[in-house]
Structure 1
Amino acid sequence: MSTYRSLHDGWTLSSTTGVRDLDTIPATVPGCVHTDLLAAGLIDDPYRDDNENRLTWIGRTGWTYRTAFDWQPDGATHTDLLFDGLDTIAVVRLNGTRVAATANMHRSYRLDVRDMLTPGTNTLEVEFQAPYDYTAQQEAAYGPLPGPYDEPYQFIRKMACNFGWDWGPTLVTSGIWRPVRLHSWSGARLAEVRPHVRADGVDVHVRLDRDGEQPVTVTAEIAGVTVHAVVPAGQHEAVLRLDVPDARLWWPRGHGPQHLYQLTLTAADDTWTRRVGLRTVALDPDAFRIIVNGRPVFVKGFNWIPDDCFPHRVTRERLAQRFGQAVDTGANALRVWGGGLYESDDFYDLADELGLLVWQDFPFACAAYPEDGTTRAEVEAEARQNVVRLMSHPSLVIWCGNNENIEGHQHWDWREPLAGRDWGAGYYFDLLPRIVAELDPTRPYWPGSPYSGAPDRDVHDPSTGTIHIWTVWGRQDYTYYDTYTPRFVAEFGFQGPPAYATLRAAVSDQPLTPDSPGIAHHQKATDGNAKLLRGLGEHLPQPGNFDDWHYYTQLNQARAISHGVTRFRALMPYCMGTIVWQLNDCWPVTSWAAVDGDARRKPLWYALRRAYADRLLTFHDGGIALVNDTDEPWTGDLALTRLDVTGQPLAKDAVTFDVPARDTVRLTLADTLTTPADPARELLLAETGELRAVKMFAEDPAMAYPAADFDATVTPANGGLDVHITAVTLLRELALFPDRLDPAATVDEQLVTLLPGETVTFHVTTAQALDPEQLLAYPVLRTVNEARP
C-alpha cells in the first residue's frame, strides 16, 4: 500500500522567545508567521507605507506551531512524516518526542515516525528559532563575511531576499511554508527517480527504499512503451531504458511545439508520474550559446525574483498570470535568480507547457558564503534534492552556481576582509558541478553569472561567457549600452516607478511627491530617486510635479531597456542572449520590473513587446539592423524617409532586403537620410510591412515639436472602451493610463508615435463607465509634446 494524508488542519501559533508574548492564535499551513499575524489582526499590512519598519521583531522572535490529529493503524509497515518546506531553523516533535532538527528552507524532510504514532490523538509541534539569533551564532563562530547589505543572509540556508534587497523589504519569516503530510507504505517505495531524457527516449534511474527480501519489479511506461526491471533482494537501484518510436521533440517557445509525454514508474504499490519532454540541450561555453535539439537559441528573457515576500501565497493561477505576461512580450526564458528559491513544481510545469527556457541559479547571491562542514552538508543535501526534483522538466536547460559571487571576489574588495578564508568557491567549482554531473548529466552547469569561462578570467570580459551590465543605471546614461559587444547579457536593468494605482494603494501620503515618506520608503535602491532624475539626462524634461515625475521616469525606463535589448539583438548571432532585470516584483515598489507588485504592466512591458518581437527593425550603429528570429527567411522592401516634425518628407530611399532565418542584416544608410539640415526639426522613419522605427535627430527637450493636437472619440467596446485618436500634429509616444480613473482598468497598447493624419485605437478594459473627458485629459493621456493644461 502507499497512501498520503495531508496535515494542514488545526494548527496554532504562539511566540516562544523574543520581546512579545503572543499566546495561541490560528495558523495556516502552508504559511508563515507574518501572514498568520496579519490574518489575526495583530499587525498591519507589511506592504503598506512604512509598516515594514515596525515588524522587525518578528524575525527576532522564536515561534511554535502546534496541531493534533487522529491516527489509527492502517496495516502499513512504514509511516513517514513529510515536510516539503520548513522556514528555517526548527525542531520537530511528535507526541513530545524530538524527531528532527532542521536548518534549511530549501530542503524537504522525510521522517520515519511509525513507532512514535499512537492510536487516537497525536500531537505535532514545530518550534522555530528566531532567524537572527541563529545567524548571530553562525557569524560569531565563522567570522564576518562581506556582502552588500548589513544583513546576515549568507549564514542561513534561507531565501536571501527575505532579509531585504534593493527592491524588496526586510521581512524575515518563519513557518511551515510548504505542505506537510503522512505517507504510509509497505514493501517498497520509489525513493528517487531520475529521468535522463534523450531526443529519442529516456533512461530512468531508480532508487528504492524497501523492506523484506522479495525481489521488486519496477515498471516504466511512456508513449505506449513499457519496460520492466527486477531489483533483486539486497539491491536498491535499477536503470530502465525506454526508446520512443517516432518521438516528438519538446522545443523552446518560438522554435517548435512543446510536446510532453507522461512518464510513469511503479514499484509495489508506489507510483511516480511526471510529464517529460524529449530534447537535448548543450552549451557552447565561450560564445555562451544555449543549443536545444542542435539549434542555437537566442534567449529573450527576464530575471525572476520570488513573486511575493511570503512565497506560500504564490498560487499556480498567479504564476500563470505572470508567465502569460512574460510570453506576451515575446520572451522565451526566465532566469531564477540566486537570491531567491528553487521554485514550486507549478512554476516548472507552466514553463514546460509554454516553452519557456528556465535558467536555474543555485541559491547563492552577492556575498561570500561559509564553507564549514555543517553548511557544506546542508548545501549538498539541498542541491541533491532539488536537482532530482526538477530534472524531469524539459524547460530547465542550465544550472548556474551563483549570482555575482565570483564577481564579488574579483571586484568588490572582499579579499582583505576574507583574509584567506573560504568564500564559496568550493561550492561553485567543485561540489555543485560534481552533483550535477552525477545526477543530471544531460544538462550543462555554469559556475556563476557573470562568468567568463575560467576562474582566472575577468568576469567583466564581454567577449566570452555572460556579463551583467550595471554601469548603466549605476553611473552611465543608457546610450552607454552601445559601447558593449557582448556574447550574452544575463542581467541589465533600469528603474521606473510602479503604476499610479499601485502606488496609491500602497502609500497613504497626501499629497504624493517623489520624495514623500511613503514613496521614499518604497524605493529601496541606494540613491535611487536621484538616479531616476539623473537618468533622464537630456532625453526628457526634468519634472516639475509628481505626475510628470511618474510619467517621465516610467517612459525613460522603457526607452533605456528597449535601447539595450535592441542593441544586443542587432548583434545576433554574435550575441545570443538578453535577460532583462527583471520581470516581476514581490511588493509595490519603484524598481527595475516590467510588471509591478500589484501585477500591473508598466510602460517598459509594452516597449519590450516591440523589442522582443520575432522580427525587429532598429536603428543600429548609424544604420539599420533587421533581426529575423524565425525559421523562415525575411524578405521585403524597406522604406526610409527623413521628414520634418510637420510630417513633410525631406529625403527618401527604398532598399530591398533578404534576411536569412535566425540571422541579422545590417544596412548602411545614405547621407541624405542621416544628415539633417535642422536636427531640432527632423526625424528619420524606417518602415517595412507593419514594422516601424523612428529616430529623432535631437533629444526630446531640444526638439522643436509642435504642441500636440489630435481628434479623439471614445466608444463602448467589448469589455470596456475604445479610444480612437487621430493625430493632427506629430504625437510623440502617446500613452494612456486608465488605472488613474479605475484601478482595475488596463490598456492594450502604450508609447505609440503618430505622424500627422495617422490613427491609433487603444482598447481599455474596464467594468466602469469612465468619463471620456477625463480619459482624454492630462494626466491620464500623455505624450511627450503634449499641450499642457
Structure 2
Amino acid sequence: MIPQCFPKEYQSECHNQMIRKMPASFSWDWVSIPVHHIPVHHIPVHHIPVHHIPVHHIPVHHIPVHHIPVHHIPVHHIPVHHIPVHHIPVHHIPVHHIPGPAFPTQGIWKPIGLEAYDRSVVRDITVETTPVNDSPTKWQLNTGVFFESAAAVTVKLTVHLDDRELVSGQEYALTPGPDGTSKVKLIIPVDNVEKWWPNGVGKATQRLYALKVTAVFPDSPGEVSELSRRIGFRTIEVIQTPVKPIGLTFYFQVNGQPFYAKGSNWIPADNLQERITREYLRGLMQSASDANMNMMRVWGGGVYESDYLYDLYPTDPAFLATVDQEVTQQMRRLQHHPSIAIWAGNNENEGFVRLGNKNETAIHKADYIELYITHIRRLILAHDMSRTFVGSSPSNGDEEVQEDWVSGHLADTRYGDVHYYTYDKPLWNWRQYPSGKFASEYGYISYPSVETLLTVLNETDLTFPIGAALEHRQHHPGGTKSIEKAIATYFKLPSKGGVDRFADLVYLSQVIQAMAMKVETEFYRRNRAIDPKTGNGNT
C-alpha cells in the first residue's frame, strides 16, 4: 500500500516509509517550519501531526503549570491522539499543509539510564473516573497499577490523592505474566473533588490532583517503589444519535455538557526534536488557549509527543508483536491524562485501502483490519473503556462498525468526521465546503514570510515568477499554480521582478489563505441545523 518512493512531484526523499521512527523523511506534507498548525496569534499557522498509531483529541486548558493538550484521541489521533461533533456544537479543526526538509533521526536523542530493583517496580498507572449517582463531588476512581518483576512477589500498596490517604498498606500477591508485568485493580471511592473542564467550557478549571501509588515489600525491608500521576475527575463522551432521514450526530460532551469544539491540528513542534523546550511548548499551547481553542487533534505522525505536552502495515506476527508492545506502552503512559477525549487508530489510512489495484483491495482490507482493529483497537479498549475509539480519522463513526471498518462511502457528511482540502475552487465561496458533522482537518497553503525563507535561500532565489530553488521546496504537487490561480481569482498577480515582487506574492498568498480559513470556519460555525432532506449539517 505504501510505495518505496513518492512521486517525483513531491520533491521528497526516497526512504523506507515503513521505518517505525520519527519519519521526518516524509517531508512533502506535514512538517514544521516556523509555522505549525495551531492557527493562533503567536503560533505559526499551519498543520500539526498525529501519533503513528493512535490519534487523539485533547481539550486544551488555560495551562496552569500542569497540563497541556490532543486525539480526538485518540487520535491522541489520543488519544489521543481525534474527532469532534454536532447538536449544540459545531466543530472544526483547521489544518494547513506546509513543506519542510527531511531530517531523519539517528542515535540516542533522549535520556537513557540503568534501573535496578530487588523485588518489583511500579511501572504504570491507569485511571477511569466515574461520578457516583450524578453527585458533583463524589466519584469512583478505577485504578490499574502495573508492576514489573522477574518473579512472584508480595506487595503492600498505599495510595494518596494529594495529601489524602485513600488506601493504606493493602497487601497483594503478584504473579508476573510472560512479559514480566502484573496488574492490581483498585476501586476507590473519592469525595470532595472538583471537576476538570476544557478551556472555556463549564467552569473552565483544569483542576488536577496528584495520585501517588507507593509499594513496599514485606520480604525486602527498606525497598520502596512509587509513581505519581496528575489526574482529573471528568466524564467525556462522543454523542452519536440517529438523525432524520439518515445519519448520526457526532459531538463531544464533558461532564454531561455538550460543547462546540474549536481547535487545531498538532504536528511535532520542530523537525529537530532536541531543540524543543518546555517553555517553547508552553508558549504554543498558551497561544492556543489565548485564542479560545478548547481542543487539539494530535495527528500522530512523526513522533510520540512527551507527557508534558499532554500535561500543559505488514501483518506478519513478529511485526504485530511489536505493535502490541508499542500500543500497550503508549496506552499505559497516556491513558491517565484527563485531556484526552477520543482515540483513533490512524490518520486517513482507511481511505487508502480502496485505492490502487482493485484486485488487491481484499488483501489490503484484511491487513488493515488485522492491524488497526484486531490489534490496536483491542489493546486500546483493554486499557480504556471510558473513551470512544474510531478506526480511522476521518471515519463514519459508529457507522463504520456496520461497514466492517472499511467504508465504501468514507467521509460521508452524514456521519463521523471529514477532512476537506481544495486547490482549484473559489476559496471564498462558502457553498463549496462540506456540510458534515465534524471537520477535523481543513485548510489552505500559503508562502511563509520572506524573512523566514532568507534563512535558507539567497535573495536572488526569491523572484516572481517562482524560480527553481523555491519550486524545489514546494512539496505539494501543483502547489505553485494553485496559489497563483487563487490569487488571480480575487486580485492581480504581481508584475515580474525580484524579491520585492516575490514579497507581494507572499502577502497576497497569506491574504488568500486567511480569507479562505475565515470563510470555511464561519460556515462551520453557522451550520448548526440538520438538513431534513439529506441528514447533513449540524457541524
- Same-fold call, TM cutoff 0.5: yes
- Give the letter aligned to residue 425 of structure 2: Q
The secondary structure found in structure 2 opposite 1:482 is helix
Q: State the match for 1:405 in structure 2.
A: 349
Structure 2 counterpart of 1:103: none
Shift of 1:400: 0.7
Displacement of 1:533: 0.7
Task: Answer whether contact 1:409 1:415 (CA < 8 A) is retained.
Answer: no
Unaligned runs of 5+ in 2: 30-98, 132-138, 177-181, 217-223, 241-247, 401-405, 496-500, 532-537
> What residue in structure 1 maps to residue 237 of structure 2?
282
Aligned partners of 2:315, 2:4: CA distance in 1, in Å? 11
Structure 1 residues 378 and 146: CA distance shift in structure 2, 3 A: farther
Structure 2 counterparts to residues 514-525 of structure 1, below 5 A: 514=464, 515-525=466-476
Which residue does the alignment assign to 2:47?
Answer: none
1:236-286 CA-partner distances (Å, limit 9, x unpaired): 432222322122111011112111111101112111011101111111243
Give, in whole Å, the separation in 1 of the partners of 2:519 and 2:262: 14
Does residue 427 of structure 2 align to residue 478 of structure 1? Answer: yes
CA contact (8 A) 2:141 2:187 kept: yes
Give the 3 Å change call, closer, same or farther, for CA 409–143 of structure 1 in structure 2: closer
Q: What is residue 522 of structure 2 aligned with on the other side?
A: 566
How big is each residue's C-alpha offset from its partner over 1:522-557, in whole Å with a ceiling of 9 and x where there is no partner?
322112111111112432222222122011111110
Indicate how the Cα distance of structure 1 residues 437 and 516 shifts in structure 2: closer, same or farther if over 3 A, else same.
same
| Residue 372, structure 1, aligned to residue 322, structure 2 | no
Give identity over the alignment, percent: 30
Counterpart for residue 79 of structure 2: none
Give the partner amino acid of 2:284: R
The answer for the alignment partner of 1:498 in structure 2 is: 448
Aligned counterpart, 1:450: 394
- Structure 1 counterpart of 2:358: 415
**Given the alignment of the two structures, is residue 489 of structure 1 paired with residue 439 of structure 2, yes or no?**
yes
Matched to 1:505, the amino acid is T
Are residue 226 (structure 1) and residue 170 (structure 2) matched? no
Any residues of structure 2 matched to 1:133-532 within 5 Å, and which?
Answer: 151=14, 153-166=16-29, 167-199=99-131, 200-210=139-149, 215-223=154-162, 224-228=164-168, 229-232=170-173, 234=175, 236-255=182-201, 256-268=204-216, 269-285=224-240, 286-350=248-312, 369-410=313-354, 412-416=355-359, 420-421=363-364, 422-453=366-397, 454=400, 455-470=406-421, 472-473=422-423, 475-483=424-432, 484-510=434-460, 512-514=462-464, 515-532=466-483
Query: SS at 1:155's partner residue?
Result: coil
Alpha carbons of structure 1 residues 333 and 163: separation in structure 2 relative to 1, 3 Å:
same
- The alpha-carbon distance between structure 1 residues 479 and 165, as it changes in their structure 2 partners (threshold 3 A), is same
| Shift in Å, 1:211 | 6.2
How far does the alpha carbon of each residue in 1:335-389 deviate from its partner, in whole angstroms, 9 at most, with x for none? 1113222211111111xxxxxxxxxxxxxxxxxx222222211211111100110
For 1:719-761, what per-residue CA distance to the aligned partner results, in whole angstroms no more than 9, with x for missing partners?
xxxxxxxxxxxxxxxxxxxxxxxxxxxxxxxxxxxxxxxxxxx
Q: 1:574 to 1:505 in 2, by over 3 A?
A: farther
Q: 1:512 to 1:298 in 2, by over 3 A?
A: same
**1:621-640 residue pairs with structure 2 within 5 A?**
none
- After superposition, the Cα gap between the structure-2 partners of 1:230 and 1:416, relative to the gap in structure 1 and judged at 3 Å, is same
CA shift in 2, pair 1:378/1:239, >3 Å: same
Q: Secondary structure at the match of 1:168?
A: coil
Shift of 1:208: 2.1
Distance in 2 separating the partners of 1:571 and 1:252: 23
Q: Is the 8 A contact 1:283 1:444 kept in 2?
A: yes
In 2, Cα distance between equivalents of 1:173 and 1:345: 20
Mapped to 1, the partners of 2:467 and 2:512 lie a distance apart of 21
Aligned residues between the structures: 415
SS at match of 2:158: strand
RMSD: 2.7
> Residue 481 of structure 1: CA displacement?
4.3
Quickly say closer, same or farther: Cα 1:145–1:551, change in 2 above 3 A. closer
Name the CA shift for 1:374/1:509 in 2 (closer, same or farther; >3 Å).
Answer: farther
Aligned to 1:551: 507
Closer/same/farther in 2, CA of residues 481 and 222 from structure 1, 3 Å limit: same
**Separation in 2, partners of 1:154, 1:512:** 32
Distance 1:265 1:347, change over 3 A: same
Aligned-partner Cα distance in 2 for 1:162–1:280: 39
* Cα distance in 1, alignment partners of residues 382 and 309 from structure 2: 25
- Distance in 2 (alpha carbons) for counterparts of 1:145 and 1:506: 28
CA separation in 1, counterparts of 2:309 and 2:210? 18
Q: SS state of the match for residue 478, structure 1?
A: coil
Are the equivalent residues in 1 in contact too, given 2:353–2:368 (CA < 8 A)?
Answer: no
TM-aligned CA distance change 1:339 to 1:232, over 3 Å: closer
> Once structures 1 and 2 are overlaid, which stretch shifts more, 156-165 or 495-504?
156-165
Look up the SS of the partner of 1:533 in the other structure: helix
8 A Cα contact 1:155 1:370, kept in partner: no
Match of 1:87 in 2: none
Q: Using a 3 Å threshold, how does the CA distance of structure 1 residues 415 and 297 change in structure 2: closer, same or farther?
A: farther
Flag structure 1 segments of 5+ consecutive residues without an equivalent: 1-141, 351-368, 576-662, 665-789
Match of 1:32 in 2: none
Secondary structure at 1:379 match in 2: helix
Whether contact under 8 Å (1:227, 1:240) holds in the other structure is no
Q: Which moved more, 1:146-155 or 1:515-524?
A: 146-155
Q: Which amino acid aligns with 1:266?
A: T
**Which amino acid is 2:156 matched to?**
T
2:54 corresponds to: none
**1:186 and 1:211 in contact (8 A); partners too:** no
Considering fraction of residues, name the structure with more strand: 1
The 2-side partners of 1:376 and 1:211 are apart by 24
The CA distance in 2 between the partners of 1:448 and 1:213, in whole Å, is 40
Alignment correspondent of 1:692: none
Q: Which stretch of structure 1 is more off in the superposition, 318-327 or 488-497?
A: 318-327
- The residue type equivalent to 1:252 in the other structure is P
Structure with more contact order per residue of length (Cα contacts < 8 Å, sep ≥ 6): 2
Q: Please, which of 506, 512, 536 is the counterpart of residue 487 of structure 2?
A: 536
Output the CA distance in 1 between the equivalents of 2:117 and 2:262.
45
**Kept after mapping to 2: 8 A contact 1:250/1:258:** yes
Residues in 1 aligned to 2:28 and 2:530: alpha-carbon distance in whole angstroms? 33
Is the Cα contact below 8 Å between 2:123 and 2:227 reproduced in 1? no
Asked if structure 2 preserves the Cα contact closer than 8 Å seen for 1:146 and 1:417, the reply is no
Contact 2:4 2:16 in 1 (8 A): no
How far apart are residue 325 of structure 1 and its match? 2.5
Displacement of 1:494 after TM fit?
0.4
The TM-score with structure 2 as length reference comes to 0.71
In 2, the alpha carbon distance for the partners of 1:263 and 1:573 equals: 43
Q: Which residue of 2 aligns with 1:782?
A: none
Query: Which 10-residue stretch deviates more, 505-514 or 426-435?
Result: 505-514
Q: Write the distance in 2 (CA, Å) between the matches of 1:503 and 1:373.
A: 46
Q: Which whole-Å CA distance do the structure 1 matches of 2:306 and 2:116 have between them?
A: 24
For residue 424 of structure 1, report the CA deviation from its aligned partner: 2.4
Alpha-carbon distance in structure 2 between the residues aligned to 1:232 and 1:160: 43
Aligned 8 A contact 2:461 2:470 in 1: no
